[in-house]
Amino acid sequence: MLIDLRDRTALVTGAGRSVGRGIAEVLASAGAFVYVNDLHAERAEEVVAAIESKGGSAKTLAFDVTDSGAVARGFAAVESDDSAIYGSMNLIRNCLPSMIERRFGRIIQISSGAGSTGLSIGVSAYGAAKAAAESLIRHVAVENGKHGITANALALGLMANVGGTVNEGVLRLLKGVPVGRLGEPEEVGLAAAWLASDGGGFVTGQVIHLNGGSTFGR
């Protein structure tokens, strides 16, 4: 692994499976201590066990990111270990004060191509939410760059998720993906690791599309 995240600490939300798990495992393999968050503690514990079996360092931190009180308590637990955080929405509000104090931070929001491209598959509300999150990232980046903090979003295309089920709708959309396959969670993890590293320190306020060159919806 060329990316060195030793002496860094990451909180990865929704890391009990799929893309979140891929991100947590890659960050840990690069040397970061990873807090694995998921609504379901058993999922997080499984990921922690997998990370530790490969020589990485991780800890379970289960809470509901939509519960502001739970998020605050989660951050209190992480702060006792002097951590730097990766998260979204409620998490950004809680992580910024300590990042500003340390004059270092990396915020990585997982978004979707639906936030910037209209689709005819019934995801308008989802797309609107992702567009709002991307706008938040841009403002956070501009407001906090002077503090050594970067904020970026990774907008995902069609991904291979839990169960590997590929329905007719996905197959139809896959025809518009030039690389001809679904994205893998580990690939998202590698992109996140780069943004979290010193090498990604000049990148901020960006929405980076990981979609295999997808043209669906256009």
Which residue shows structure tokens 């997998």? 50
Which residue shows structure tokens 């840990």? 28
Retrieve residue 172's tokens. 């139809």
Are 149 and 104 in contact by the 8 Å Cβ rule? The answer is yes
Q: Which of 126, 131, 203, 205 is catalytic?
A: 126
- One-letter amino acid identity for 207? V
Are 185 and 131 in contact by the 8 Å Cβ rule? The answer is no
DSSP 100-158: HHHT-EEEEEEEEGGGTS--SSS-HHHHHHHHHHHHHHHHHHHHHGGGTEEEEEEEE-S
- How far is the C-alpha of 83 from the C-alpha of 102, rounded, in Å? 10
- How far is the C-alpha of 110 from the C-alpha of 154, rounded, in Å? 5
Known catalytic residue at 86: no
Retrieve residue 163's tokens. 């169960």
Q: Side-chain half-sphere of 150: how many Cα atoms within 13 Å?
A: 18
| Active-site amino acid positions | 126
